[in-house]
């Protein structure tokens, strides 16, 4: 058994040591980011965090790539109060038992983007490390999550009535990214970091918006921030100077 384990470990480390980041590549990216709202979005939310998963295909000779990304957006700062009409003069909300309820407001949303881009290598010894530029288009959606008090039932915040308060908004979006990407020749350190920009041309999608003040028919929701990604690469094809065991 111990000889089998030693053989597998030797095979792994020998393959890593001789592997190169050559050939067409399928890249699986795990992303984390932080955005700061601009445009119409800044009057509704504060900064948000984003976790995402993306997959892309990169050509060997040109370093051109095409891919798709889905980001989950969440934040704790909500600047407008859609349930203000349920509060008393002291800002309290009473439940069906005539006791106060602890109702929290949160930001929730997502961005689904298809994109194309190019990696501009900075050194001949590793053409797959350098400046990464991409542009994309897709869908941006956000809403206010009304987080109920589990121990206090409020009739106005139940069922379909609750949807009249959440300001569900979505629409077509554009995305740009510029930063640095590193795909190691030994395939062990693969990451990218840079600035991300998203412009959403959105609309409120609820037929009824209780308590809405100056709700725009057409919105421009902008996110500006940074993104850090860890990449798991799969190289397709064999290069002449690479030895596979």
Summarised one tens digit per residue, pLDDT across range 47-72 is: 999 999 999 999 999 999 999 999 99
CA atoms within 13 A on the CB side of 92: 8
Phi, psi at residue 4, to the nearest 5°? -65, -45
Cα 197 to chain centroid, rounded: 12
Place of tokens 């740009």: 176
Task: Share the mean pLDDT of the chain.
Answer: 87
Q: Specify the pLDDT at position 6.
A: 53
CA torsion through residues 23, 234, 113, 43, sign = negative
Predicted confidence (pLDDT) at residue 10 exceeds the cutoff of 60: no
Q: Per mean pLDDT, which range of 36-40, 96-100, 195-199 is the poorest?
A: 96-100
Residue 34 CB-half CA count within 13 A:
3
Predicted confidence at residue 233, as pLDDT, reads 93
Report residue 86's pLDDT band, with 50, 70 and 90 as the boundaries: confident
SS3 of residue 60 by DSSP: coil
* pLDDT tens-digit series, residues 189-213: 899 999 999 999 999 999 888 877 7
Options 2.60.120, 2.60.40, 2.40.160, 1.10.3470; CATH for 2-236 is: 2.40.160
Domain ranges of the chain: 2-236
- Bigger pLDDT: 34 or 188? 34
What is the H or E stretch that residue 128 is in?
Answer: strand 126-147
Residue 14 has pLDDT above 50, yes or no: no
pLDDT at 3 over 60: no
- Cα separation of 168 and 203, whole Å? 9
> Model-level pTM?
0.85
Retrieve residue 242's tokens: 């690479």
Q: Flag the least confident range among 73-82, 98-107, 108-117.
A: 98-107
Question: How distant, in Å, are the alpha carbons of 1, 37, 38 from that of 42?
Answer: 61, 5, 5
pLDDT in tens, 166-184: 999 999 999 999 999 999 9
Query: Is the four-CA dihedral 200, 206, 210, 213 of positive or negative sign?
Result: positive
CA distances from 191 to 65, 111, 112 (A): 15, 21, 21
% pLDDT > 70, the chain = 88
């Amino acid at each position: 058994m111990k000889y089998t384990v030693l053989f597998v470990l030797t095979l792994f480390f020998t393959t890593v040591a001789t592997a190169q980041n050559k050939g067409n590549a399928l890249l699986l990216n795990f992303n984390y980011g932080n955005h700061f709202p601009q445009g119409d979005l800044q009057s509704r939310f504060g900064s948000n965090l984003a976790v995402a998963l993306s997959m892309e295909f990169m050509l060997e000779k040109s370093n051109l790539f095409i891919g798709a990304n889905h980001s989950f957006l969440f934040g704790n700062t909500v600047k407008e109060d859609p349930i203000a009409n349920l509060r008393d003069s002291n800002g309290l909300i009473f439940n069906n038992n005539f006791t106060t309820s602890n109702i929290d407001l949160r930001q929730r949303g997502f961005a689904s983007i298809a994109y194309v881009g190019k990696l501009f290598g900075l050194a001949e010894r590793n053409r797959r490390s350098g400046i990464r530029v991409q542009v994309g288009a897709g869908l941006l959606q956000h809403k206010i999550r009304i987080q109920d008090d589990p121990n206090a039932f409020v009739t106005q915040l139940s069922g379909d009535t609750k949807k009249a308060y959440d300001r569900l908004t979505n629409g077509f979006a554009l995305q740009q990214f510029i930063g640095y990407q590193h795909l190691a020749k030994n395939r062990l350190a693969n990451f990218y970091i840079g600035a991300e920009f998203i412009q959403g041309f959105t609309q409120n999608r609820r037929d009824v918006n209780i308590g809405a003040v100056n709700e725009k028919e057409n919105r421009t929701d902008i996110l500006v921030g940074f993104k850090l990604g860890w990449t798991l690469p799969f190289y397709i094809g064999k290069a002449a100077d690479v030895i596979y065991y």
